[in-house]
Amino acid sequence: MLKKPRFVVHRHAASHLHYDFRLEAEGVLKSWAVPKGVPQTPGVRRLAVAVPDHALDYIDFTGVIPEGEYGAGEVEIWDKGSYEVESWKKDKIVFRLDGNKTKGSYALVHMKDRNWLFLKLKKD
């Protein structure tokens, strides 16, 4: 049986506290920085800024990125789990998260440049 792909939400206390949302796909972690965190309420939309793919083994990373390095600050796992893709198109990804805190249907919708909207969908 195929293993479900995983996701992680890193809480990243860099110069500006933000959350990094990462989906396991195509052998890497597709990643977005989400300043206000993953929406927990249906209908809520949050900005998600696409950032470079991370290596798959970063999914378990916790620790401190040293001063002077990009993203310096503490990284902890805020949530993790598996997800199922409903549809994955270039500008719109619809998926269902099954994490410890984060569950339900979500969409990431590309807006402009690196900016995406991260929405928790009403349907369940």
Asked whether position 12 contacts Mn ion by CB under 5 A, the answer is yes
Q: Which residues contact 52 (CB under 8 A, 6 or more apart)?
A: 31
Residue (of 105, 114, 117) closest to 47 by Cα position:
117
Nearer to Mn ion, 42 or 73 (CB): 73
Asked whether position 20 contacts Mn ion by CB under 5 A, the answer is yes
**Binding segment toward Mn ion, per CB under 5 A, in 20-28, 58-66, 77-85, 106-114:** 20-28
**Binding segment toward Mn ion, per CB under 5 A, in 17-25, 60-68, 79-87, 108-116:** 17-25
**Binding segment toward Mn ion, per CB under 5 A, in 12-20, 56-64, 82-90, 111-119:** 12-20
Asked whether position 9 contacts Mn ion by CB under 5 A, the answer is no
Q: DSSP label at 60?
A: G
Residue number closest to Mn ion, CB atom: 12
Nearer to Mn ion, 28 or 121 (CB): 28
Note whether 50 and 114 are within 8 A (CB): yes
Residue (of 51, 14, 55, 19) closest to 34 by Cα position:
19
**Total Cβ atoms within 10 A of residue 94:** 17
Residues that bind Mn ion (CB under 5 A): 12, 20
